[in-house]
Structures are given as C-alpha cells and as structure tokens.
Amino acid sequence: MSENALDYPDPADIAKAIEAAVADADPHPARELAKGFSWPECPRWHDDLFWFSDMYTSTLKTVDADGNVAVVVDATARAEGSDAPIVLGGFGWLPDGRLIVNSMHEKVVLVHDGNGVDDLSVYADVSEFAPGPINDMVVDAQGRAYVTQLGFDMFNGAAPAASPIIVVAPDGSASTADKAGPLMGANGIAITADGSKVITAEAFANRIITLDRSDDGTLSNPREFAQCPFLPDGIGLDDEGGVWASMPGCGYVARFTENGVTDKIAVPLESGLASACVLGGTDRKTLYMTVGVEVFDFEKSAREALGALWVADVAHSGGATRP
C-alpha cells in the first residue's frame, strides 16, 4: 500500500495550504534530540523520562535529557508463531505501576510486569471490537484504558470506516464507548487534568473532538473542538485548555484552542513526518515530537532507521493532563 491510499496531497502543496491557518500563530524553534528509529510514535512522559514506541522494532524505549536511549519493553518474541506483525502502539500505566500497551495488529492489550524487558502477557483481547488495527491509548486515574482504532485495515488498502473507541475496564474486560458514537479514525487521545473530558483526534474527519467523561468512565456528547487544516494524528494537552496536534505531511505541529491556532512548530518535511507529540520535562513545558520517514513498509522502516525525536520549548505546561 502506498501513502497515496490516505489521499495525502503533495507535501509542497500541503505546506502552502497550511500557512494561512498558522499565519498568526506564535512560532517555537525545534531541535533534534535523538535519531536512529523505525517509525517512532505514542510519546509519553513518565518517571522523569521520555518514553515512546519504536514501532517496527516491536519495542518501547526511553530517552534521557542527553539523548541516551534504552529499551524498556521488547515484544519481538511474540512474533514466533504469530501471523500478525508485532507493532506496539499506545501505552500507559495502571495505578499499581504496571504498564499496559496495545499490540496493534494482534488486537490485544499487553501488560508488562517489569520482571524483564520481554515480560509480557495478554491483559485484554479486544479483537471482537476491532475490524482493523488498534492504535493509541490513554489510561485514567482508576486504571481504565481508552483505546482508539483505525476502524479498517489501512495497511492492506481497505477504505476508511467509522468505528468506536474501545474501553478496557480495570478488571481487563472490554467494551465499546457507544455513547461516544463511531468515529472516523480516532487517533491520538488524552484526558484533561480534572478528568472530566477526553479529547481525541478524529483523523479522517480532519478535526479534534471533545467527549464528556463521567465519574464511572462513560464517554458521551461528542462535539467538535477544532477543525484541522490537515489530518491530525497524535495529540497532547496543556493545562490551559490547548491541544497540541501533529499533522504528518504538512510540516507543522500546532496548538489549537476553540478560537483557532495559537502556536506552531515547524518540522522540516525533509526530516520526516511529525506523527505525535506530548508535553514533558521537569515543568512539562518541553514538547516532544516523534518524526518518522517510512510508515507503510515495516521492514524498510526498521532497516533504514531514519526516524527521530524532536523537542521544542513552549509556554504552556502539560500539568496533570494525561498521557
């Protein structure tokens, strides 16, 4: 499958078209922190470290402030006897400290008990709710995981289709967020600091949406937060109501509010596509961005290892938002 299957316009045309949307936004310079990855994704800030999925090496990695990289979860052994590629997507932490992570094409949520990088077992099987690969995840304070999905087999040329957010309860049981309705490719997902709202990027509708979240974790009342000038992928929240969205293929990561774009970070297209972002650092005012080059050819992506991590200093803190 080629990138044209997602109807990406020419990158040069995208860059020109988006300029109007970000013309009045405050710019923040970006710099490369580390490189040598396949398709990096799903960035997290946890225990004073930056975490991310190095997707096509089946690993989760951390990077410290000096750019030193460590493998913390390794799922490569799961490839033995599996018909599905082992690609780790969104992840988060349960209240007891264990890490859970999506195995996208297996359509299961794995749990890592911390007894070794490869200590993984199935936490929840969500395949009955997922016609295509599962994607990102955010975990609430009670240990409930909200799992997004593409809703179709993008990597084998299927047409986009609406699908629900999957909810994995603290006991590992799975269901769908039916009151939130089916979405056209819910992608990056986050929870506000007070826990009252879930925000997600509805990728194939080119918008960011807000969902109300009740005390029992139920999601409802989906509504548009912002229209995006291009497909939004990974997102990160700040504690002043802003949503940072990566829009791979347009050359910018931008901060959206309900009044439009307030801040922008240029990531040169020749360096790759900025796919996801999160606020981290000691004051959570550093925006970490994953930048990939090859998303569709898994083997080539891992072999060439052209993916990188970029950072930019911004004015707004991530505070207690999740992830």
Question: pLDDT tens for residues 110-134?
Answer: 999 988 999 999 999 999 999 999 9
What beta strand segments (E) does 177-313 contain?
186-191, 197-202, 207-213, 219-227, 235-237, 243-246, 252-257, 260-266, 273-280, 286-292, 307-313
For residue 13, pLDDT beyond 80: no
pLDDT average, residue stretch 216-221? 98
Is 3 a residue whose pLDDT tops 50?
Answer: no
Strand pairing report for 260-266 and 207-213: unpaired
What is the pLDDT at residue 1? 33
Q: What is the pLDDT of residue 7?
A: 54
- What are the φ/ψ torsions at residue 215 (nearest 5 degrees)? -65, -25
Count the alpha carbons within 13 Å of 152 in the hemisphere toward its beta carbon.
16
Tokens representing residue 206 in the block: 């080119």
Segment 138-146 shows an average pLDDT of 98
pLDDT at 153: 80
Q: Give yes or no for a contact between 5 and 39, defined as CB atoms under 8 angstroms apart.
A: no
- Predicted confidence at residue 155, as pLDDT, reads 77
- Sign for the CA dihedral angle at 84, 129, 149, 288 comes to negative
Q: Does residue 276 sit in helix, strand or coil?
A: strand
pLDDT at 9 over 70: no
Model confidence over 151-195: pLDDT tens digits? 878 777 778 889 999 999 999 999 999 999 999 999 999 999 999
Could you write out the DSSP letters of every residue in 54-115? Answer: EGGGTEEEEE-TT--EEEEEE-GGGGTT-SS---EEEEEE-TTS-EEEEETTTTEEEEE-SS
Lowest mean pLDDT among 10-19, 229-238, 272-281, 293-302: 10-19
- Tokens for 12? 């040069």
Judged by average pLDDT, the poorest of 1-5, 13-17, 121-125 is 1-5
What's the CA gap between 151 and 229, in Å, rounded? 22
Beta 174-176 vs 166-168: how paired, if at all? Answer: antiparallel
| Whether residue 247 has pLDDT greater than 60 | yes
Whether the predicted pLDDT of 5 surpasses 60: no
pLDDT at 12: 65
Q: Given a cut of 50, is residue 4 above it in pLDDT?
A: no
Of 57, 54, 58, the C-alpha closest to 34 is 54
Higher pLDDT, 5 or 13: 13
What are the residue ranges of helices labelled H in 126-220? none
Q: What is the pLDDT of residue 18?
A: 83
Average of pLDDT values for 3-13?
Answer: 54
Q: State the average pLDDT for the chain.
A: 94
Q: Which residue type sits at 76?
A: T
Q: Which residue has the tokens 């300029």?
A: 19
Q: Which residues pair with 272 in a beta bridge?
A: none
Top-tier CATH class for 3-313: mainly beta
Question: What residues does 112 pair with on adjacent strands?
Answer: 99, 120
Spatial CB neighbours of 137, under 8 Å, sequence gap ≥ 6: 42, 89, 90, 91, 92, 100, 101, 102, 109, 145, 146, 147, 148, 189
- Give the pLDDT band of residue 11 (cuts 50, 70, 90): low
3-state secondary structure of 15: helix
Q: Does pLDDT of 136 surpass 80?
A: yes
The answer for residues whose C-beta is within 8 angstroms of residue 283's C-beta and 6 or more apart is 317
Q: Quote the percentage of the chain above a pLDDT of 70.
A: 95
282: left (phi over 0), alpha (psi -120 to 50) or beta: alpha
